[in-house]
Structure 1
C-alpha cells in the first residue's frame, strides 16, 4: 500500500500499553482496512505483555467487516500517533493535507518540549549500591511516618508472565524505616524475599492498612507517569524539561523511568481530572503514557530491588516544581502564547503609529473586514471589484478610496474558467484599463478547500514572501469549522483570520450570508447568519440589504435609459447641439428632438435600443450598504444599483426607501405605533407634497426652492421626493404636475 513505511513508523511510535482498549481495537480495524495482515497487529500488540493474549488478535480480526458511516482507516493510526506526540515520518515531503507550524519555531498548542530535539543522557545510577538506603529515601519522600504502605514482593504466573500477588499493607512508613535501619542492608528481612528476575512493587499512595485497592487509598497524593517506547535518558530529559513536580524518579530496571508526580487531589473525582490533565500534557510533549496507570492504587517499582541483570533504582527525589498548583501555573504560562501586559505610562509619549488605511474611512492594513448580505446581492462581484480597486488604486463602489498594492483572491466556489472570466468582465464593466494585473493573484480551491484551521497554515506558507496587502476569501461557508451558531466554535474559527493577519501583515476580507427571513427590522450587525461572533469579530463589517424600488423609481430608470440612448444617437449623427442639459433629462423632449433631426431608420433603432435598455434597467437590483466600524466613524449608508456584473452608485433615487422589515419585530411595531404603517407614511408624504405644491401655485410658477421653503426641507430632499412620487415633472428648478398617463 502507499505510504506503508510511514504507517509502520507511526505504529512503531505508538505503544499498545499507552492506548485504551477501544484505541487498540481501532488500530486493528485500521490495519485490516489498509490491507495489512493480522500478523502486523499481533506482533505490535505483543509489546504490551500485560494485556496481550495469544489468539485474541486473530479472533477480533475476523469480526472486523469495515463499512458503516464512519469506517476506521489507516488515517486513524496517523491521527493517534500525532496525538501522542509523533512528529511525522522522517524525510516526508509536505503535501496538500499536511499541517505546518504557523510561524518559524512555533510549537503545537500546549507543547513546551519538542521531543525531536531532546538530547538523551545516561541515567545517573549510584556508584555504591545500598538497597536499604534506596527504599528509606523513597519512603521518606512519599509518606508520613504514620501512613500505611502497601507493597508486593511475591508473584505468580498468569498469561505467560509473572504478575504481583495481593502483597502486604499492615505496616506504616515509620515502622518500615525503623526496620530498614536495623536490617544490615538485607531488604528481605523487612519486606520479604522476592524473585530477583521479577523484582518487587510498591503502591505510591498511602492505604488504610486493610488492603491495596482504590477503596483503601487514604490520600490521593501521587500519580504514576510511565513511558516505555523511547530511550531511558530521553524519558528522564523530557520529565525534567516538563518540570513535573516529582516526589521520586525511579528506574524500573526495564524499559521505563517511573515518575511519581505530586497531584495532591482532595478526592477521587478531582484525582481523575488532574491525572487526565497530567497525561494530556505528557502526551503533547512526547511522552506516550501507559494508560493503565491511571488508578490511585497502581503499583510502581520498589527501589533497592534487583530485576534480572539490572536494579530498580531511586534516581532522584523532589525534582521539578514544588507542587501541583505551581506546575499547572507554570505550564499554562509557558503554553498560552499570549503577549505580556504593558504599562500605559511607558507608551503615553511614544504611541505606536496606526496602521495605514487600506480602504479609506473603512479598513486599515492588517485588519479584518466582513461583507455580509443575502443571496444574489452580488457579494462575490463586490469582492472582485474590491480586488481590482486595490490592484489599480481606484475607488471601490465609487465611494471608498483604496490604497494600491498586491491582493490574493481565494476562490472557493467557482471553477477556474468562470472565476477568470468574472475578473475580465468586471474590469470591462468598470471601464478600467488592466494596467496592474500583476497585483492580483488568484488561488482557485474549488473542490480542494479544507477547513480554515487547516487552510490558514498552508496559506501562510504559500503567501509568506508575496507581500500581499489583502487576502480575500470568497465565500467562508466553504471553510467554516464547527457549528456556525456556536459562539465558542466560531470564535476559534475567526481566530484563524487573526493568525493570517499577523503572519502575513495583511488585511483579511471575507463574505458571509444573511440569516433567513426579513432583515429590515434588524441592526446591520445582526443580519449575518450564525453566531453574533461573525459581526463582532471583524474590525469592519459592511452589510448589504436589498431595497425594493417603487414603480415611480423604475419609471425614472426607464426615462434615464431612454435619454441615454437618444442622446447617443443624436451625438452619433452630429446633432449634439440640438438639445440642452435640461432636455437630456426628459424622455419626451429628447424623443421630440430626435423626430426633428433623425431619419426613420434611426428612430426605429432608437425604439429597439430603448426597449433593450429598459429591460436591462428592470434587471437592476437596489442595495444599501451600512457599516459597523471599529477604527473609523460610521459612514452614511451607501445606496447602490447592482447592474450585472458591477455595483454602481445611486444618484439619489433610493434615499427614501427602507429595507423590508419584519413587522413582528419589537422595533418595527414601535415605529409603526409612532409613525403609522409604511403605506400610510407614503400616503402622508404624497399629501404633504400636494399641499405644498398647491400653496406655492398662489405665487405663480412653482419651484423646488419655493416648495422646500414651505416644507422646511432641503431642496435636494424635495427634489428626491418629487421624483419618487412620480406625479410631478421637474425642469431645472421648475416643478409641474404631470398630465394623466404622461411619462415625462
Structure 2
C-alpha cells in the first residue's frame, strides 16, 4: 500500500497561526514519521515573521523520541481543524474528490463583469513571418526557468472512438534551457531537436514544470499555471473576453482548431490552494460567459505547443504577459470590479414616501441587522446574559426589561463543551420558570476546540446559516476568534468587518461580548471601558455595558432577611395551608420565625420538616451572599439613551432590582483611575524587564541559552517585542535567535 503523504495535510496548516509548542509538535511528528528536516523547514518558511535560517535544524536535532511520541495523527488533526479533508474522500469519507469538484470556501459573489452579448470580438493575427523555432523559444521563456524540467509531446495516436488525435507520453526529462539552446543552434530544424510530429496531430506541452520522473500530478514541482480553454465561443470573442477580464495570462496561443489556449498564472503554494484557485477562476469565467473545459483543472495538463503544424493550420503564439501581473493582483482587481457596493442614490424623492426602518429586535436598543456589543469585567455573567438574551429572542420575552421580538437565533458557543452549554440553557430556562414553548427557535453551534480566526469562520458560518432566517447570531466569546492585535485599530477594523459580513449576508443582528480593560472603570464613559482599540467603541450600533455596584453590608443583610422570610412563608403555605399570616409580619424575620414554629407545631415529623426548611434557608442565604450587583448602561446609535438598568447576578440569571438605583459610583473613581493609569505607565518598562528575567529563569536549564520563540510564547507577546525588551536590558543578548545572559567578554 502506498504510504500516506503527510505533506498534503501539512500544506493546509498555517504556521503563523500556531503556538511555539504546536510548531515543535509538527516537527516531532514529521521526524517520527520518517520525513526530513527540509520538509519541516520548507513549510516553516511561510511564517516570514518568525522564521530564522537554521532554527529548524537546531531544534530538529533535539528531538530524541519518547515512549509516547508525537505522530503524524497530530498533523492530520491540525489540518482537519483547519477545514482540510483527506484527498480521495468527502467529509463523509466515501467519495473521491475529482478535478471537477469545488474547493471554494469563500462567499459565492456574483462576479459578473462582462456581458458576452456585447462582445464584438478582437481579431487574431497569424504571424506573417513563420519561424517555428522562435515560436517555441519565446513560449518556453515566457513560462519556465531555464533549469526547470518540462514535458513536450509530439508522438500521438488516433482515437477511433472519439475521432481525434491524442498525445502519447512524450519527453519529460529535459530542461527548458536545454531545448532553447538546441533550438538556437538548429538552423530552424525543430525536428532535429524535438522530433518530427504527426502532421495532423500537432504537439503539446505540460503547463507546469515536472520533476523528470513521470507525467502525473504528483510529478508537478510548481503549481504555477492552469490552462483555460473553451470551444463554445467564436475565436475572436474568446480573444476579447479573455483580455477584458484582465486575466494574468502568461501565454495566449491558437490551438490550430476551435479554441484559444490561455496559460493563466495561479501561483499556488500547494495542491489544495491550486485546486481552490482554479475552481474560483473557472467559476468567474463561466459567470462571464466563457464555458471552460473543466478537464483542464489538472496541474499536469497538456496544452498546445506553438511552432507546430496541426493539419492545415498552425499552432502559434498570440501574446505573452497579458492582463494583471499576478494572481493576487487579478484577485484584487476582480474584487474591486465586483465590490457589491450599492449605487449612489439621489435624494429627490426623499419626502415622497415613508421611510421604513428595520424592525426592533430588542425594543429601544437594537434593530434587526445591526450589531451589538455587551462589555463587562470577568464575573459579570456576560455569557449567562447572552444565553438569557438568546432565550428571550427565541421566546419573545423581555431581557433586562427590554422586549425582544420572537424569532430564530444562533448561539455560537466557542468556550463550553457541548453538554455544559446545554446544561446552562436548561438552568436558565428553569430559573426563569416560564416554560420553553419555543426552544426550537434556538440553534447552538458548538465549536470548542474547533475554532478558527474570524475571517475564516465567518464564510463557514454564513454558508451553514444562509437558509435559516435567523434574527440574531450571538458569538461568545470573541477572544477565541480574535484576529490581529487587539490594540491595533487596523487589525480590529478588519476583525469587526466580519460581523458586518455576517449581518449583511444573513440579514440578522450580530451580538457579541467583550471584556473591560484593566483598572478601575467607574470614571470612564460606558463606551470607553472595552479593552483594546477604540474600534470596539465606534463600530457597534449598540453598546451595553455592565459595571459592578459597590454593595454595603446592610443591603446584603436586608436581602438575606427578605430571602429567609420568603422561604418561611413558602414553607408555611406548603405544610399548613390554613395558617394565616398578617401582611405586615411577612416582612419581619422575627415575626416569621414565630409564625413558622406556630404553623408547624403539632405536625408529625416537625423536627425533620424544620431541618429541611433550614437547609433551604441556608441555600437562599448562600445565593444572596454570592450574588453581585450590576448596572447596565448603553450607548445607542439608533435610539435615545435609556435609564440605567440595575440587577443582581444571581446564578444563573440577572434579576432586576430597581432599589439598586440609589447606589452611586464613587465620584473619586475617575481620579483614582487616572492616578492608577499614570502609575502603571511609569512602572510598565520596569515590569516588562522583570517579566523577561522571570521567563528566562523559568525556561532556561542551568542558565543556558533559550530560543526567542520560547520566551515570546511564555510571555504571550510577539517575537519583535522580545527583541525590544532585550535591547533595553543589559543582562541579556540575542544571537542566532537564542537569548543568553551577557558576561564580561560581551562588554
Query: Residue 342 in 1 paired to residue 350 in 2?
Result: no
Could you give the per-residue CA deviations for residues 119-170 of structure 1, whole angstroms, max 9, x where no partner exists? xxx99875684359x99xxxxxxxxxxxxxxxxxxxxxxx9664879xx9xx
Structure 1 unaligned blocks of 5 or more: 12-28, 42-61, 136-158, 169-187, 200-225, 262-280, 291-302, 670-744
Instruction: Give the whole-Å Cα distance in 2 for the aligned partners of 1:604 and 1:242.
Output: 84
Query: Residue 367 in 1 paired to residue 375 in 2?
Result: no
Corresponding position of 2:440: 438
* Cα contact 2:429–2:436 (8 A) shared by 1: yes
The alpha-carbon deviation at position 586 of structure 1 amounts to: 3.4
Corresponding position of 1:496: 498
2:227 aligned to 224, 227, 230, which one? 230
The alpha-carbon deviation at position 369 of structure 1 amounts to: 1.6
* Cα contact 2:10–2:76 (8 A) shared by 1: no
Corresponding position of 1:560: 562
Change in 2 beyond 3 A, CA 1:467/1:592 = same
Change in 2 beyond 3 A, CA 1:585/1:553 = same
* Cα contact 2:519–2:676 (8 A) shared by 1: no
Corresponding position of 1:474: 476
Give 1:503-582 correspondences, 5 Å limit: 503-571=505-573, 572-580=576-584
Query: Residue 644 in 1 paired to residue 641 in 2?
Result: no
The alpha-carbon deviation at position 459 of structure 1 amounts to: 2.0
Corresponding position of 2:245: 242
Instruction: Give the whole-Å Cα distance in 2 for the aligned partners of 1:124 and 1:91.
Output: 45
Instruction: Give the whole-Å Cα distance in 2 for the aligned partners of 1:500 and 1:430.
Output: 30
1:393 aligned to 393, 396, 403, which one? 396
The alpha-carbon deviation at position 655 of structure 1 amounts to: 2.8
Corresponding position of 1:130: 129
Give 1:543-692 correspondences, 5 Å limit: 543-571=545-573, 572-580=576-584, 583-591=585-593, 599=601, 609-658=616-665, 661=669, 663-666=671-674
Give 1:173-188 correspondences, 5 Å limit: none
Bigger radius of gyration among the two: 1
* Cα contact 1:111–1:284 (8 A) shared by 2: no
3-state SS of the aligned residue for 1:340? coil
Instruction: Give the whole-Å Cα distance in 2 for the aligned partners of 1:435 and 1:352.
Output: 35
The alpha-carbon deviation at position 342 of structure 1 amounts to: 1.7
* Cα contact 1:7–1:77 (8 A) shared by 2: no
Corresponding position of 1:155: none
The alpha-carbon deviation at position 625 of structure 1 amounts to: 1.0
> TM-score, normalized by length of structure 2?
0.54
Change in 2 beyond 3 A, CA 1:310/1:663 = farther
The alpha-carbon deviation at position 443 of structure 1 amounts to: 2.2
Instruction: Give the whole-Å Cα distance in 1 for the aligned partners of 2:6 and 2:112.
Output: 23
2:360 aligned to 357, 361, 368, which one? 357
Change in 2 beyond 3 A, CA 1:340/1:10 = farther
Instruction: Give the whole-Å Cα distance in 2 for the aligned partners of 1:317 and 1:472.
Output: 51
Change in 2 beyond 3 A, CA 1:450/1:331 = closer
* Cα contact 1:381–1:645 (8 A) shared by 2: yes
Change in 2 beyond 3 A, CA 1:232/1:410 = closer
Instruction: Give the whole-Å Cα distance in 2 for the aligned partners of 1:88 and 1:640.
Output: 51
Could you give the per-residue CA deviations for residues 1-34 of structure 1, whole angstroms, max 9, x where no partner exists? 99979999999xxxxxxxxxxxxxxxxx999889
Instruction: Give the whole-Å Cα distance in 1 for the aligned partners of 2:9 and 2:482.
Output: 33
Instruction: Give the whole-Å Cα distance in 2 for the aligned partners of 1:503 and 1:568.
Output: 51
Could you give the per-residue CA deviations for residues 567-592 of structure 1, whole angstroms, max 9, x where no partner exists? 33444453334333xx4333345446
Instruction: Give the whole-Å Cα distance in 2 for the aligned partners of 1:257 and 1:653.
Output: 76
3-state SS of the aligned residue for 1:509? strand
Change in 2 beyond 3 A, CA 1:347/1:480 = same
Give 1:32-51 correspondences, 5 Å limit: none
3-state SS of the aligned residue for 1:584? helix
3-state SS of the aligned residue for 2:522? coil
* Cα contact 2:250–2:262 (8 A) shared by 1: no
Query: Residue 377 in 1 paired to residue 380 in 2?
Result: yes
Instruction: Give the whole-Å Cα distance in 1 for the aligned partners of 2:249 and 2:419.
Output: 63
Give 1:286-305 correspondences, 5 Å limit: none
* Cα contact 1:521–1:668 (8 A) shared by 2: no
Change in 2 beyond 3 A, CA 1:342/1:651 = same
3-state SS of the aligned residue for 1:353? coil
Give 1:314-333 correspondences, 5 Å limit: 315=318, 333=336
RMSD: 6.1
The alpha-carbon deviation at position 520 of structure 1 amounts to: 1.6
* Cα contact 1:409–1:471 (8 A) shared by 2: yes
Instruction: Give the whole-Å Cα distance in 2 for the aligned partners of 1:640 and 1:461.
Output: 38
The alpha-carbon deviation at position 340 of structure 1 amounts to: 2.1
The alpha-carbon deviation at position 334 of structure 1 amounts to: 0.8
* Cα contact 2:254–2:261 (8 A) shared by 1: yes
The alpha-carbon deviation at position 481 of structure 1 amounts to: 2.4
* Cα contact 1:624–1:640 (8 A) shared by 2: yes
Structure 2 unaligned blocks of 5 or more: 12-26, 40-59, 94-101, 135-172, 195-222, 266-276, 283-295, 300-305, 678-747
Change in 2 beyond 3 A, CA 1:427/1:667 = same
3-state SS of the aligned residue for 2:393? helix
Aligned residues: 510
Greater shift after overlay, 421-430 or 234-243? 234-243
Corresponding position of 1:427: 429
Could you give the per-residue CA deviations for residues 209-256 of structure 1, whole angstroms, max 9, x where no partner exists? xxxxxxxxxxxxxxxxx9765267799868424236999967799xx9
Could you give the per-residue CA deviations for residues 241-273 of structure 1, whole angstroms, max 9, x where no partner exists? 4236999967799xx989999xxxxxxxxxxxx
Corresponding position of 1:179: none
Change in 2 beyond 3 A, CA 1:599/1:479 = same
Instruction: Give the whole-Å Cα distance in 1 for the aligned partners of 2:321 and 2:389.
Output: 62
2:465 aligned to 460, 463, 481, which one? 463
The alpha-carbon deviation at position 400 of structure 1 amounts to: 1.0
* Cα contact 1:34–1:74 (8 A) shared by 2: no
The alpha-carbon deviation at position 380 of structure 1 amounts to: 1.5
Could you give the per-residue CA deviations for residues 99-132 of structure 1, whole angstroms, max 9, x where no partner exists? 75555x427xx9979xxx9xxxx99875684359
3-state SS of the aligned residue for 2:658? coil
